[in-house]
Amino acid sequence: MQRLLALDAHLSARLRVAERPGLLRSLAAFLAHSGDSWFWLLGLALVWLLGSPAWKHRALVLGAGILITAALVMAIKFTIRRQRPAGQWGEIYRSTDPHSFPSGHAVRAVMLAVVALGLGPLWFGVVMVLWAPLVCLARVAMGVHYLSDVLAGMLFGLVMGGVTLALF
């Protein structure tokens, strides 16, 4: 197990750009934040207030998926208690949630993509499927997760996307 954890840390460090100024770091920081739950819940509240009936339904399903997923992810995180990689970027994440496994952003991004594909329209699902892995990689690139955190999060996100579609 120690060898796997060492390989995980090594591969994660190779993907890291948090300490390198430039366009790639700026893009990774933007993408890493774009999966924040508060951002999505605020955006979905606006869609629900201003959208058509079809978009109001999508907003409710996606919002419910975010809340259910968040509760389950936090339960897992506080059971496993894996510490985040050391680093300076992402102080808000480090102080409010010091645990990294699984990546809540990865779970949320993939869950949102699966639900978007299921609810449509097709363009929305495609955009979300393209966006989700970028968020996952950005979380590793900015040093707030190990690669295994986001891989596990992506798998859990697939499950949660299916569960959300089945429930709603």
Catalytic machinery residues = 105, 145
> Is there a contact between 99 and 144 (Cβ–Cβ < 8 Å)?
no
With contact defined as beta carbons under 8 Å apart, do 89 and 31 qualify?
Answer: no
Q: b or e along 56-71 (b: 16 or more beta carbons within 10 Å of the residue's beta carbon)?
A: eebbebbbebbeebee
Report the C-alpha gap between 9 and 66 in whole angstroms: 28
**For the chain, first and last CA: distance in Å?**
39
Distances (CA, A) of 65 to 8, 147, 161, 166: 29, 24, 8, 11
Peptide bond into 102 cis (omega under 30): yes
